Amino acid sequence: MTQTSAAASQIRIASFNLYNFIAPPDAYYDFNNIYTQAQWQQKCDWIRRYLASHDPCVIGFQEVFSIEALQALLAEAGYPYFVTVDRPEVSDDFIYRHPVLALASKYPILSYEPCDIDQTVASVMGIAPGFQYSRLPLRATIALPHLGPCDCYLVHFKSKRAQFDPELAVTPDSGSEPAASQSDSLTIEKSEALFAIEAAAKWASSLIRGSEASLLRVAIARRRIDTRYPVILMGDFNDSLAGGVLSALVSEDSRLLGVLGEEAFQDYRLQDAYLLHERSEYSPTSVARAPTHYHLNRGEVIDYILLSNEFDPHNHQCLAQVSQYHTYDSHLINPQYDRDSHSTDHAPVMVSLKIRE
């Protein structure tokens, strides 16, 4: 095998939350949030170092405000193919909100489009008409070596942040003080209500996140019926796969198994690339999984790469195996200010897929 073909037999896929990628003098969310030129240069250099040292073949980005700046950076780094399906919201000509997703590849992108919502399924689920993804997912079909066309899906599901301000949902009691003074001096009863309403506001975000995951899974399944292409789903899920909210993505419990059979289920399922690596011949002695994000000093895995049965070595349709799984987290657990102060608050994750001979 030549050096070129040996390199092509390892396909590296990465997911990378950039954390407010926006070029000055534009601002993110508020007019005060503007990088200096030095800070912006540091952020771009950090991304360049990651790309140079890990060399992913396909990489999905979240939290992109400056689309053209990212595309130029990636072109310089050797990624001639770049797509996005949405634009951020801009107010006052320089304040950006609602960042978007972008996908870059060293291999040709054959087609791409935003992921749609099956309104019939959404209606049966009890979702109100007009429901939209909080960040529009994209699907890009990429011509990967030895695999052929592969459908790569990129997502950034709804965050855990409360869906609404709890104080806005408090209904003043008859004869009580005006609403403005209520917020200045909360009674114990009102405080108790606010705690409960805050919990409801967070659950509202969970409902959105779970609905996004379920509806995307339907879109992936419908596309797979039409194409039979291998599937890669990656991104910032903003939740653990172990919880019930995202269970639709990797669920193995189905009453349809007895009717449709195991083979049909295998064609449908998606699996966590980390677990596929753990069960592969390439896995070292099992170690604890590294978190991809920290909140209040508590680590959690919320960035994932999911794969279809073409990457499961125990499936007869297997075309490639997960030979490596890497979480790049040195900037989170042992940061160096000069290098990492304007990097990202997530750990990029990457898998290497070794083509079966």
- Residue 234 token pair: 């990656």
DSSP-assigned beta bridge partners for residue 82: 104
Rounded to 5 degrees, φ, ψ at 256 are -75, -10
pLDDT of 176 higher than 50: no
pLDDT of residue 175: 45
Rounded to 5 degrees, φ, ψ at 32 are -85, -15
Q: CA 251 to CA 230: how far, in whole Å?
A: 18
| pLDDT band for position 178 (cuts 50, 70, 90) | very low
pLDDT of residue 285: 64
pLDDT of residue 258: 64
Range of weakest confidence among 48-52, 101-105, 288-292: 288-292
- Residue 37 token pair: 């030129």
- Residue 54 token pair: 């890990």
pLDDT of residue 274: 96
pLDDT of residue 256: 65
Range of weakest confidence among 5-19, 33-47, 53-67, 96-110: 5-19
pLDDT of residue 260: 66
pLDDT of 130 higher than 80: yes
pLDDT of residue 172: 58
Is beta strand 95-97 parallel, antiparallel or unpaired with respect to 27-28? Answer: parallel
pLDDT of 345 higher than 60: yes
Range of weakest confidence among 85-99, 217-231, 235-249: 235-249
Q: Domains in the chain and their CATH numbers? A: 11-170+187-355 (3.60.10.10)
pLDDT of 7 higher than 60: no
| pLDDT band for position 268 (cuts 50, 70, 90) | confident
DSSP string computed for 47-96: HHHHHHHH--SEEEEEEES-HHHHHHHHHHTT--EEE-S---EEETTTEE
Q: What is the pLDDT of residues 72-86, one digit of tens each?
A: 999 999 999 999 999
pLDDT of residue 166: 78
Average pLDDT of 203-230? 94
Higher pLDDT, 196 or 331: 331
- Model-level pTM? 0.90
pLDDT of 190 higher than 80: no
Is beta strand 138-144 parallel, antiparallel or unpaired with respect to 148-156? Answer: antiparallel
- Residue 355 token pair: 């083509």
pLDDT of residue 299: 94
| pLDDT band for position 212 (cuts 50, 70, 90) | very high
Q: How many CB atoms lie within 10 A of CB 5?
A: 11
